[in-house]
Amino acid sequence: MSVLDNVDAATNLAKNNELQLLVFRVSESEDSAYYAINVFKTREVVESKNHYMTQIPSAHPLLVGTILLRNLQIPILNLPSWLGIELSKDEVQRSNILICDFNGVIIGLRIMSAFRVMKKNWNEMHAPDAYRLKDDGLVMNDTRLEDGSLCLVLDYEKFLSDVIPQAMVNIEENSLNLKDMSIPQRLKNGTVLIAEDSKTAQRALTQIFKHAKIDMLMFDNGKKLVDYVESLGENTENIPAIVTDIEMPEMSGFTVIQTLKANPLSKDIPIIVNSSMTGDNNKREAEVLGADGFIDKTKSNDIIPLIISVMN
């Protein structure tokens, strides 16, 4: 049985502020760290030795080539090298490829072995300040395995933007999308609140709102945003909209929606989900919980027009 066969539906986890993580290692070394990725960003694990690697001329050094999997050409990214770990030829032969889906972009990550799938509550996911001291940090947050071992969740969006930047949001398109649009005064004069824990996504959203000359306030996770809104009491008239990611430590975006829509003082503020988890289940769940719009992160340049449309 594949380690991914035990994955539950995202909708069942969202209601309890939970997630499932695929835990893996990138080296056979005894002191090799455990890493994790949300299972809903993964498709399957395949053995490297069973797939011919086609080299890509002039590609980024961490883009090791492509494999053909069910008639789909999939770029393979060297995750160990990104983490400063070099595998021997024998290790590469024994390695596996984790097939992932980011915003509809299918890629493969070289890993050594898939360890297990585990369920966690988002309040068990932590983002120490040490991970946020530099914009080029690779770690987003961490959690613990049952034996107390530290398990690191990486900024996979940063990895993707480093190696295949064309797969990420095109900031320049934002100005074109606003060219013929009338921005409501409430949006011009207000401050949009954003919950996003990825530094890469934070930078993209900051640029988008700066280009549009719209004020925004960024929070590293959903709990901080919810606490801020609740601290305002009845004074929420200057918040024209809220944007939230789904995957965040402390409190998921689904719980952000549930909490704010259940509060009479914030239930009428439009909420947009901006996520790389673009499956139908996630979109449907966000809508059921009360979200007013959903956009995937590669199309974040359309986020201002979407906000305008849900405000009207």
- Report pLDDT digits (tens) over 110-153: 999 999 999 998 888 887 776 655 566 788 889 999 999 999 99
Q: Which domain holds residue 20?
A: 10-166
Single pTM value for the model: 0.76
Same domain membership, residue 152 and residue 14: yes
**Which pLDDT belongs to residue 10?**
52
pLDDT at 54 over 60: yes
Percent of the chain surpassing pLDDT 90: 51
Domains in the chain, number:
2
Indicate which CATH number applies to the domain containing 205: 3.40.50.2300
Q: Determine the pLDDT at residue 173.
A: 55
Residues 238 and 252 in one domain: yes
Burial of 92 (0-12, 13-18, 19+ CB in 10 A): middle
Select from 264, 263, 262, 242 the least CA-distant residue to 253.
242
What is residue 155's predicted lDDT score, i.e. its pLDDT? 87
132 and 222 belong to one structural domain:
no
**Same-domain pairing of 14 and 160:** yes
Do 215 and 146 share a domain, yes or no? Answer: no
| Separation of alpha carbons 176 and 301, rounded Å | 9
Evaluate if residue 157 carries a pLDDT over 70: yes
- Indicate the angle between helix axes 199-211 and 303-311, nearest 10 degrees: 70
Residue 5 lies in a domain: no
Winning range, highest mean pLDDT, from 131-140, 185-194, 280-289: 185-194
Q: Is 231 domain-assigned?
A: yes
Residue 46 carries which side chain, given as an amino acid letter?
A: V
Helix axes 156-163, 199-211, angle to 10 degrees: 70
* Domain contains 247: yes
What is the model's pLDDT at position 14? Answer: 59
The answer on 256 and 154 residing in a single domain is no
Structure tokens at 5: 């066969």
- Looking at the structure, do residues 184 and 46 belong to the same domain, yes or no? no
Overall average pLDDT of the 154-182 stretch: 72
Residue 101 pLDDT = 86
